[in-house]
Structure 1
Amino acid sequence: MPLRPPAQPWIRSPHYDGWLILAPPFVALLVVLALPAQFRHSAEFPLLAWVGVVLLIDVAHVYGTLFQTYFDPQQRRQRGRLLVLAPLVCYAAGVALYAAGGLVFWRALAYLAVFHFIRQQYGFLRLYARHEAPGPGQWLSPALIYAATLYPLLYWHLSPPRNFNWFVDGDFVQHDWPLGRQLATGLYLGLLLAYLGREARQYYRTRTLNVPRNLLLGGTALAWYAGIVVFNGDLAFTLLNVVSHGVPYLALVWSRRPAQAPGRGWWAGRHGLLLFGSAIILFAFLEEGLWDGLVWREHGAVFGWFRHLPTVAEPALLRWLVPLLALPQSTHYVLDGFIWRRRAT
């Protein structure tokens, strides 16, 4: 009687992981391929797409952290000092950075965000490789997940100005160096081939394959390479970047919701998903409304109510205001470095 293959290391289930954690980068790529050409290679960004991608996914996913921290009494007891100090330190650092220059602040926040995005992919890799025994070449998986994100970013840094940015124009340091791009591409391809060779050898010997780990690596590589290297459009980059990051993050948060114990499971009951989704969207709308009313003035059709707020242009006031408005993001980046660490091992 043939032996049954080992169970795949799903986080929750094949369908849940498949659709909400592993499929988003592939779905996002299909959407980008279906877009008119100008959205793949220009800075055009329709308002409806901005609402769907930036407001409802990118900004909203930040508030998913609340449900693993401030909204959970157990987490407040266990991590009380961290939950108090993190926003205070982030705000103080933000004010100091903005005092050194607006671009200094946005550049520091952009690189912190990049680190957060990369570490999320590594965290998912750890989850999907948690049952694997140590063996020769096992280092190739973490090396490739880092390369799949760092190589496109390095390509971006070594390219002329692109039609997209992370937060604001010039937030990444860029220097056009064609030879550097070629060398980085060669190293990345070598690592990719080494990983594929190891997987092929392992499958030949054991007839087993870690499906979610390979789908995670493939989706990450495709999304980051297509969004940054292949296409040169703001919508294409944002859609691939945000959907691949935000949707899996929210799925992970929902999969780790607390049990319906008194005082803990208010968002995990019968109407939990509705409460969860409504809360993060409401917070996202309020945050972006304040940004638009006080600073950007770009999306009046969406945030008409906030147009009654005064526009703040005085540098001395922006020094205090901008880090405050960005505090949910910066705190999200910092807290996520702590709250998932033990759970990913």
Structure 2
Amino acid sequence: MPMPWIRSPRYDGLLILAPPFLALLVVLGLPAHYRSTAAMPLLAWVALVVLIDVAHVYGTLFQTYFDPIKRRERRTLLWVAPVACYVVGVVLHSLGGLLFWRVLAYLAVFHFIRQQYGFLRIYSRQESPAPGRWLATALVYYATIYPLLYWHFSPDRNFNWFVDGDFVQLDWPAGRLVATMLYAGLILAYIARESYLWHRKRTFNLPRNLLLAGTLVSWYVGIVLFNGDLAFTLLNVVSHGIPYLALVWNGGPSRPDAPAPPRRGAWAGRYGLSIFLGAVVLFAFLEEGLWDGLVWREHGSVFGWFQQLPTIANPGLLMWLVPLLALPQSTHYVLDGFIWRRR
């Protein structure tokens, strides 16, 4: 059968399917210290958190507010989503800063999981119905859920999602064992089905299987196998952020051998890619600079000018400020539940 690429074997292979495996190679080459501690070099933090993780959030702008047609088609959604996110954020933060970060962390996790499911749906869109097709969906979900369960049942992780304590954790060995057994069983069942389909019908969906393998690798190695902040961040961020930016740049999935959807607005034209990448990096730098200058004060050597801003420590002011600074992320999570839907 023809492979259901989003754009082409080269584009998908390099920018959507390869990132988890490339990140794994980097992690395996790290000194053992970075695979088992909370140590995070400054340059790695800038490259991973600012230039990929935060930057990819602003890719949503090019599928919404910066696209004149989509802006007109989704006018109500595009103003309701940020307003609702900000109002809910203020209410949550008024009830407690940790509660705000906990809800945002679980929303982020849901967004990360759904992205993998979305790619699975794209890469399965040309398949004929066959017995056991549900196994792919079950595996892509559990490939992300199992490491999260392991994280929740192992309170000694050297990393967090946003802030310390944002996940509810307890030490439950029995829970880890049951979750692991289900994980192994599901993988074996999926492999058995794929082997059967190859043996009987000579069908093998290469991009779908690479997507599932990359999901298994990035989530298991980054959370379960290793216990280091750099290893987790590298696998988590690279595997999520780069494919997302690649999907945004392509404009979504297209028919096999068809050109990518046309770009509209500021990123169309000869210098579109430079504008696209420059804009998301600039927005990411400004956002992180504001966070560092007003709240965190952790990376003054990177955000020197922002250190002139006053540090906000008053709980009453933080209640309004923190949800505002986090608004690009929360809006990104919500909008992504709508803008990629296809029949």
TM-score (norm 1): 0.96
Among 26, 30, 45, the residue aligned to 1:35? 30
Query: Which whole-Å deviations, capped at 9, do the CAs of 1:192-225 have from their partners, x for residues lacking one?
Result: 1000000000000111200000000000001000
Taking the aligned partners of 1:107 and 1:160, their CA distance within structure 2 comes to: 15
Asked if structure 1 preserves the Cα contact closer than 8 Å seen for 2:66 and 2:266, the reply is no
The one-letter code matched in structure 2 to 1:215 is L
4+ runs deviating over 4 angstroms: none
The letter for the 2-side match of 1:308 is: Q
CA distance in 2, matches of 1:118, 1:281: 24
Other-structure match for 2:270:
270
Instruction: Give the whole-Å Cα distance in 2 for the aligned partners of 1:41 and 1:269.
Output: 46
Aligned to 1:309: 309
What's the offset of the Cα at 1:133?
Answer: 1.2
CA contact (8 A) 1:40 1:234 kept: yes
Q: After the TM superposition, which residues 249-288 of structure 1 pair with which residues of structure 2 at under 5 Å, given as runs? A: 249-256=244-251, 259=262, 264-288=264-288
Give, in angstroms, the shift of residue 289 of structure 1: 0.2
Q: How far apart are the structure 2 equivalents of 1:51 and 1:79?
A: 34
2:18 to 20, 23, 29: 23
The corresponding residue for 1:72 is 67
Distance (Å, rounded) in 1 between the aligned partners of 2:97 and 2:266: 40
| Aligned residue identity for 2:271 | H
Q: State the secondary structure of the residue aligned to 2:218.
A: helix
Of 177, 180, 186, the match for 2:175: 180
Cα offset, 1:300, TM superposition? 0.5
The one of 243, 260, 263 aligned to 2:238: 243
Question: Equivalent residue of 1:322, what SS?
Answer: helix
Q: CA deviation at 1:97?
A: 0.3
TM-score scaled by structure 2? 0.97
Asked whether the equivalents of residues 155 and 184 of structure 1 are also in contact (C-alpha less than 8 Å), the reply is: yes
In structure 2, the residue matched to 1:3 is none
Structure 1 counterpart of 2:279, one-letter code: A
Q: Following the alignment from structure 2 to structure 1, what is the Cα–Cα distance between the partners of residues 268 and 43?
A: 31
Distance 1:275 1:117 in 2: 26
Give the structure 2 partner of residue 50 of structure 1. 45
1:1-345 equivalence runs, <5 A: 6-256=1-251, 259=262, 264-342=264-342, 345=343
Shift of 1:258: 5.3
Is the Cα–Cα contact under 8 Å of residues 66 and 265 in structure 2 kept in the other structure?
A: no
CA contact (8 A) 2:19 2:242 kept: yes
State how far apart, in whole Å, the 2-side matches of 1:160 and 1:300 are: 31
Which letter does structure 2 place at the counterpart of 1:295? Answer: V
Alignment partners' CA distance in 1, 2:63 and 2:10: 23
CA contact (8 A) 1:39 1:233 kept: yes
Task: Quote the sequence identity (%).
Answer: 73
Secondary structure of the 2:166 match is coil
| Distance in 2 separating the partners of 1:266 and 1:165 | 36
Look up the equivalent residue of 1:151 and give its one-letter code: Y
Question: C-alpha deviations, 1:31-74, integer Å up to 9, x for none?
Answer: 00001111110000000000100000000000000000000110
CA distance in 2, matches of 1:191, 1:253: 31
- Aligned partners of 1:198 and 1:280: how far apart in 2? 41
Does the 8 Å contact 2:152/2:168 carry over to 1?
yes
Give the Å deviation of 1:266: 3.2
CA shift for structure 1 position 76: 1.1
Q: State the one-letter code of the partner of 2:9.
A: P
- Secondary structure (helix, strand or coil) at the match of 2:283 reads helix
Cα offset for 1:265?
Answer: 4.4
Unaligned segments of structure 2, at least 5 residues = 252-259
Shift of 1:30: 0.5
Residue identity opposite 1:315 in structure 2? P
Counterpart secondary structure, 1:193:
helix
Helix, strand or coil: the match of 1:341? coil
Shift of 1:237: 0.3
Match for 1:294: what amino acid?
L
The answer (yes or no) to whether the contact 2:68–2:265 under 8 Å persists in 1 is no
